[in-house]
Amino acid sequence: MINKDILKKAFRHLCTAKAMTELYEENFKVVSKYVHATSRGHEVIQTAVGMQLLPQDYVFPYYRDDSILLSIGMEPKDLMLQLFAKKDDPFSGGRTYYSHPSLRDDDKPKVPHQSSATGMQAIPATGVAMGMWYKETEGIQDTEKPVVVCSLGDACVTEGEVAEAFQMAVLKKLPILYIVQDNGWDISANEKETRAQNAAEYARGFNGLEAISIDGTNFEESYSTVKNAIETIREERRPMLIHAKVPLLNHHTSGVRMEFYRDDLEEAKTRDPFPKMKKYLAENGFSEDELEAIEALARVKVKEDYLEAEKAEDPSPEDLFTHDFAPTTVTEEKGERSPEGGEKVVMVDCALHAIEEIMHNDKTSLLYGQDVGGRLGGVFREAATLAQKFGDNRVFNTPIQEAFIIGSTVGMSAVGLKPIVEVQFADYIWPGLNQLFTEVSRSCYLSNGKWPVSMVLRVPIGAYGSGGPYHSSSVESVVTNIRGLKIAYPSNGADLKGLLKAAYHDPNPVVIFEHKGLYWSKVPGTKGATSIEPAADYVLPFGKAWVLQEIWKQEEKETIAIVTYGMGVHWAMNASEELGMQDQIEVIDLRTLAPLDEETVMKSVKKCGKCLVVTEEPSNNTFARALSGKIQEECFKYLDAPVMTIGSENMPAIPLNSTLEETMIPSTAKVKNKIEELLAY
């Protein structure tokens, strides 16, 4: 028998959630300015979950979970401030939808940012659990054993990213409880059309994921099942799944009305959890007057909070421009870049040693991705010996799961870790872009600064040695279009080491593109990528371009500013040397693409009067073309010729054949010809 105080508290939450739904419907024309969904029909299972979580736990509610939020201690007004997108919305400052929480209160379970987009929350949530696993195995967990709860709708369990999360949960035996609320509907598509089995049946295919089906409208069954599951996970540290069957008694969202398509509304009403809960309480010592008083108080409270929230202040225009990034401490170049007596090393070793130094000094840092573990140490040997030095819990292989590799960093960062992860080739980043765009890059902004994602994503990139169409792509233009990321693309080992150190100290997500052809300087003309290895204390801030070949303004000679990055730096420097025009060509190595050092670029272009932007990407519709346009716009009156761009040919892929590859991508000779064309303009 459940304690009477627990039953009373649970019923109060149910009454509050129901009163909120009814009030929203009564005021539909007012509250439907912004889209919202409510928990009507789902209240019992949600309340049974929320009431049993502790402050050290983490919970990932989805967009229908306002009853979970009420039961962890949020007030109706808190949720309504988000409903109206008000300035004091405690979750996002008016930036995101109702019941899309981000919470970091000491006295409540932690709620990192998540998009709630069809199943995507499963990866960040499982990332939190993996962070707990790591901290416990390494002896750095400093609280009672926490658990993670990930709430999902039944329709999203068919999503591939959910499968990636389940796979890692059972592989690592992670302390996570997946709560699947099954109301039988996607939006207008129902379970018969879209699912071959329910969530519990599906989950049992993941060996080690215990799955239980329950009636999610029965409070006693829901509460006791959740209680047993949480206690088991807290003690045994393994994943579980509860599949709770519930009716949907309100609209899918305020914008998709149930009357449009539902043919089961009358049947759904027969499973309403609210009268079932009242009946259960009446059978267990509660009088009708007592229950009616609780209902009446809930309605009054909800109405009062609604009126206050409606009158609350809206965000100001200035609020748009806050919390895109958390402040970083690395704002100046520091440390020894070229220690006395140092020897030149290849670029890949600068990266390897940077990671080793980071991991040696900070146990919260770890490295994972495909093939980075002890057997291989990365397909480019960029992680060689790290697993042997730091152990298989700190440096480990993952399945082929780019979405999980990238999205799990949201959860790892949320528990105070610093994940360094790898996508094996830039060509393989596409399955992870969903997580990179929707979860990683927006977390700081949409949580109003509460949950920046501190992670480093290493991406080997570029064409080299007949890699063919699946190992040679340049993808920086896609990634630079994702706001909320910092992006580096160094041309040499010293810069790579300094930028890796800056990325490690940065509380924001960082993507580092590392050109495969520069790793060992095996490509002719790339010896400049080797460097005297910087000291361990060397850091290079983002947003600081490097003027490699500075020239004076000259009236009697034509001068050119070449703006480039990565392999383009070497093409530009070699072309300049072959032309014997080092006194006429200023080469700007951007080093980072976001933030971009526009001041240095524009200063150089205004001085030189002509500009060439060099990229390895096919040049149309790219970062380089956008930069060319911006230079043209800001420097027009200083220019003696149009800003020109050279990149790869605009073909769908880089062919395997070496002759075709050479024809496809730029080279020193091609850049030299473009310089001559620009000089002659």
- Positions marked active-site: 471
Give me 309's structure tokens: 């929230």
Do the beta carbons of residue 489 and residue 434 sit within 8 Å?
Answer: no
State which amino acid sits at residue 218.
Answer: N
Distances (CA, A) of 679 to 241, 338, 360, 552, 600: 67, 35, 51, 17, 22
Q: How many CB atoms lie within 10 A of CB 144?
A: 10
Q: Which of 674, 621, 629 is nearest to 477 (CA)?
A: 621
Contacts of 597 (CB under 8 A, 6+ apart): 543, 544, 545, 590, 591
| CA 410 to the chain's CA centroid | 6
Give me 89's structure tokens: 């919305």
Q: Which of 510, 512, 367, 509 is nearest to 452 (CA)?
A: 509
Specify the DSSP element, H or E, that contains 213.
strand 210-215
Do the beta carbons of residue 53 and residue 69 sit within 8 Å?
Answer: no
The number of residues in the chain equals 681
Q: Is 471 exposed, middle or buried (0-12, 13-18, 19+ CB in 10 A)?
A: buried
Q: Tell me, what DSSP letter sits at residue 542? A: T
- State the Cα–Cα distance between residues 418 and 412, nearest whole angstrom: 7
Question: Which position has the token pair 């990634």?
Answer: 479
Contacts of 140 (CB under 8 A, 6+ apart): 363, 364
Q: How many CB atoms lie within 10 A of CB 353?
A: 17
- State the Cα–Cα distance between residues 199 and 242, nearest whole angstrom: 9
DSSP string, 307-340: HHHHHSPPPPGGGGGS-SS---S--S-BS-SS-T
Beta strands in 348-504 (DSSP E): 365-369, 395-397, 418-422, 455-461, 486-488
Q: Are strands 592-594 and 486-488 parallel, antiparallel or unpaired?
A: antiparallel
Backbone angles phi, psi at 500, to 5 degrees: -60, -40
364 three-class SS: coil
